[in-house]
A and B are shown apart, each in its own frame.
Chain A
Amino acid sequence: MTTSNVVFLLIVTAGAGFFALNVQRLVRYLRIGLAENRTNEPGVRVKNVLSIGIAQSKIFRDHIAGPMHAAIFWGFIVLTAGTVEILIQGVFSDFSYDAILPEPVYRFYAFSQDGFALLVLGAIGFALYRRLVLHPRRLEGDKLEHTDALIILSLIGGLMLTLLLTNAYAYLAGSTLVGPEKFASRLTAQMLGRSVTSPGYWAGVFWWGHVVILLIFLNYLPYSKHLHVITSLINVFFSNTSGPGQKGVMRPMDLEADVEQFGASDVDHLTWKNLLDGYSCTECGRCTAACPANITGKPLSPRKIVINTRQRLMEKAPLATGDRMEFIHPRLVHGEGGATGAETASQVLGERLLDNYITEEELWACTSCRACVQECPVSIDQLDIINQMRRYLVLSESRFPEEIQPAFESLERNGSPWAFSPADRGRWAEGMDIPTMAEAMERGQRPDILFWVGCMGSFDDRAKKITVAFARILKACGINFAILGQEEHCHGDPARRMGNEYLYQMLAKDTIGTLDRYDVKTIVTSCPHCFHQIGNEFPDFGGNYEVIHHSTFIERLLEQNLVPLQGEDGKRLTVAYHDSCYLGRYNDIYDAPRATLKRALPVVDIVEPKRSRDRGLCCGAGGGRMWMEERQGKRINVERTEELLATGADTIAVACPFCMTMISDGVKAAESDVPVLDIAEVVAGQLVS
């Protein structure tokens, strides 16, 4: 072993040791969060890692930044093999894969190294150009964030350059290891010219340069947003945002638990996974760019929610864990928004994530549309943090926009978020000869299907027309169904979305009791919120039913030719369909409503607005926003309606009673007279009379 080998070993050990210390520190910080099991269904998790992580499927949703990032990412993976070779060379100077790999494989390896080095250099160049010249809006961070990004890009650039230069000089020094496959290295050598003196010396210098930059890079990561380089794949593995389990299902809370508080007001009441999300955020801003609240000028930014979580964690965790390495307390971690961070220990302990970093207004602005979750390339669940904090506000402090109190009270007393008498729930069905479950049972009948009408469908005059339309279709197809009538009441979803888990569980458990009493197996509903709640969230409380949204149900009926439709009436319609969040992003139902329209209407053109399907913009009613005032910025429904009207469609179709209200209001605000119809109404309009 030469001196240089020994020096190398010392440096690498120091570098790796320091890195290990940081990793261990970061893991310890995560432990201040609450426990949560995220290892179920490892198969699905590995699949997510392969598709979202390795294949970068979400990264590619952005057609410009996507390929660029993928090039760097894949380059990194490929080049890691080379890095390992270089590290071994540090100890055994003459080592080369050449010695252990079969010839063709080695040649391919050698080629890939140079190929990806070039690709990465190109991508870095483009990234720098984008940051320094183009300035896309979603990358607007603070100064620290910019410096951080530039440092990282330079380090990666440096790694690639030193790699090529080491090889080039080695080639000039006559190394046989730089074969023609290392074309870029040879090209570099050519540019350097044959006249350089002592190429062997320079090869050594750049080799050392490469090693040192590598170690700097590694140890810089824990202080930077580029921690995601290490955590993102891990985060994708532990994430639930693309399964396992149904998407967007809120975690049930144990309300009997003897805990000091319900919900989260600070990082130690979030789960370790929420905190890992903080480590993993790349600050790409894709979430915020898709957020309807942010787009329309509300104070909410999902990116800020995640960044603030990390910022606060980095501030509080050292104190909470008694970290003696506080001197390396990552001041580099920057924030977003007004909060500058606490200076002294007592200040740190006196502050918390809620209020000091994330305000109530931000939390209440969320429509729970899941656009942020959908967009995030590293499977971060911004919405989960928001929901946990809303729960704290309501359950622990009873703090919420005052206008939702009547909704809570009415849910408690009348079983509907609006103060309507439960006795009037079944009124829409008067004269339609639709039995209630109770009536059917009394007559000794067993309905195959329960039509869950929902509160909007029962009480809102516009939505009642949808209810009637759907009931007419069911009857025309001879479906044996019943309703609950007076026995139906809200399943509690609005309360849950507004953070009132207590009220939600009361209503949900009661509803499950009613459904089980009638031994209900299959439920159809025209409301996506009821559909999601009963179908996806009730199982956590022991309610298991097959729930079918009316768009899917009607489509199946149409497919089986069960619906007696009129023929061609010569009208040509151009329809723009608005995707409901709870149907689309929560349940991946995008095609059924469109297919229903196509099948039911003889001549129809379906046009898509600027944002549609899984990128569709929320109507603004979700997350309990239906019961809140929209005091700031542009109204979300107006923004959305403008997009829909811009398609030039002569009809707008929806598949949700809440979307119906919001989009109809938007159309009125735009002083347009384009009709807004539910798909059930479209189909009912085609029934033979």
Chain B
Amino acid sequence: MPNILVFAETRGSALRKVAFEAISAARALVDANGGGQVHALCAVPSGGAALAGQLGQHGADVVVTVEHPGFANFAREAVAATLAARAQGGGYRAVLLGFSAQGRDLAPRVAAKLDAPIATDVTEIRIAVDAVVVKHPVYANKVIATLQLDGPLVVLSTRPGSFAAVEAPRTATVESAAPASDPSGEKVVVKEMQEGGKGKIDLGEAPVIVAGGRGLKAPENFKLVEDLAAAFGNAAVGATRAVTDEGWRPHSDQIGQTGRQVSPQLYVAVGISGAIQHLAGMRSSKTIVAINKDKEAPIFKVADYGIVGDVMEVVPALTQAVREAKAHS
């Protein structure tokens, strides 16, 4: 089995979780196919060698460090060129990246440079004799496609969270390489990075949304919803039309047919009965939790997990529990 080249994604000079996931995926693949090597390539402003330990810990045999001050920001063209140059060097069956913001951008570039077939956002990978077969969720996860990629070298990106980062410790050999193109001569230049997180998270982007309805009884009780959102850390606060009509929350917070249509990973509906207008805006959320005192409320029909009870009691308890859970993770 030939080797697999993995892009070890970093931000600043720190490795990201997707890097370990991709390396573990590659490790498992070569091991299942009669052995081969996992090569990890990282492009950093400096201190690449320091990352080798961590990468080796997860199963990288060789760590290729490419250092240049221009890598302080995302130098997409240079990174893609360097990855492609390394892959072209021969001996690789696949180039693996994480399907992260960087990986989404890099993988097609690398594939185009190598003229290699590509599959992105894959959740399973199998290497057969003459083809690579992957699973890739399509139609917004409503269908799973099995794709076959024909060619001696393929480019794949792995869906974050689909491949567990597991340790397979070894001591990685460190090689260093020069960038294949000048990172300071990019056609696209990063002008600014704006730290998010602290400010308000937009409803459309938030992975978690906590939304409140009329069941909260009074505007001041929205504090409960805000506290729960704060406990999650990455949550935005939404509201039903009844609530925004009452003026308890601004109209921009409204979720539903006449407001925003959202599909976060987790949607917590607090004191929301689940009118058609509201459901139309949040039904496609991945996981839905509902807390409502009326067990007949239609929201329970769409909720994965429901608690029947008084929001004034349940929500503070949940906030506390989430805070504890977060503290342990």
Contacts and interface: CB of A to CB of B under 8 A. Distances in A.
B242 A665 contact: yes
A419 B257 CA distance: 8
Given A403-B257, A406-B257, A629 B276 contact: no
A668 B241 CA distance: 13
A638 to B, nearest CB: 10
A671 B102 CA distance: 52
Interface string B69-105: 0000000000000000000000000000000000000
Contacts of B280: 406, 410, 418-420
B258 A461 contact: no
A460 B275 contact: yes
B242 A459 contact: no
Interface string B216-260: 000000000000000000000000011001100001000001110
A635 interface: yes
Contact of A629 (B246, B258, B261, B275): B258
A331 interface: no
Contacts of A418: 257, 276-277, 279-280
Contact of B245 (A407, A410, A459, A630): A630
A665 B277 CA distance: 12
A450 interface: no
Contact of B257 (A407, A630, A631): A407
Interface string A401-432: 00100110010000000111000000000000
Interface in A510-541: none
Interface residues of B, number: 18
Interface residues of A, number: 23
A629 B251 contact: yes
Interface string B151-163: 0000000000000
A406 B281 CA distance: 10
A403 B259 contact: yes
Contact of B276 (A403, A460, A668, A669): A460
B197 to A, nearest CB: 29
B261 A668 contact: no
A407 B257 CA distance: 8
A606 to B, nearest CB: 27
Contacts of A301: none
B258 A403 contact: yes
Contacts of A456: 276
Contacts of A629: 241, 245, 251, 258
B298 A462 contact: yes
Nearest to A419: B280
A461 B276 contact: yes
B59 interface: no
A627 B274 contact: no
A163 to B, nearest CB: 60
B16 interface: no
B274 A461 contact: yes
A661 interface: yes
A627 B258 contact: yes
B242 A668 contact: yes
Interface string A649-679: 0000000000001000100110000000000
B301 A461 contact: yes
A227 interface: no
Interface in B260-305: 261, 274-277, 279-280, 298, 301
A155 interface: no
Q: Which of B245, B274, B276 has the most CB of A within 10 A?
A: B276
Contacts of A419: 257, 261, 280
Interface string B40-62: 00000000000000000000000
A628 B242 CA distance: 13
17 contacts: A403-B257, A403-B258, A403-B259, A406-B257, A406-B261, A419-B261, A419-B280, A460-B276, A461-B274, A461-B275, A462-B298, A463-B276, A627-B257, A635-B245, A665-B275, A668-B242, A669-B214
Interface of B: 214, 241-242, 245-246, 251, 257-259, 261, 274-277, 279-280, 298, 301
Interface of A: 403, 406-407, 410, 418-420, 456, 459-463, 627-631, 635, 661, 665, 668-669
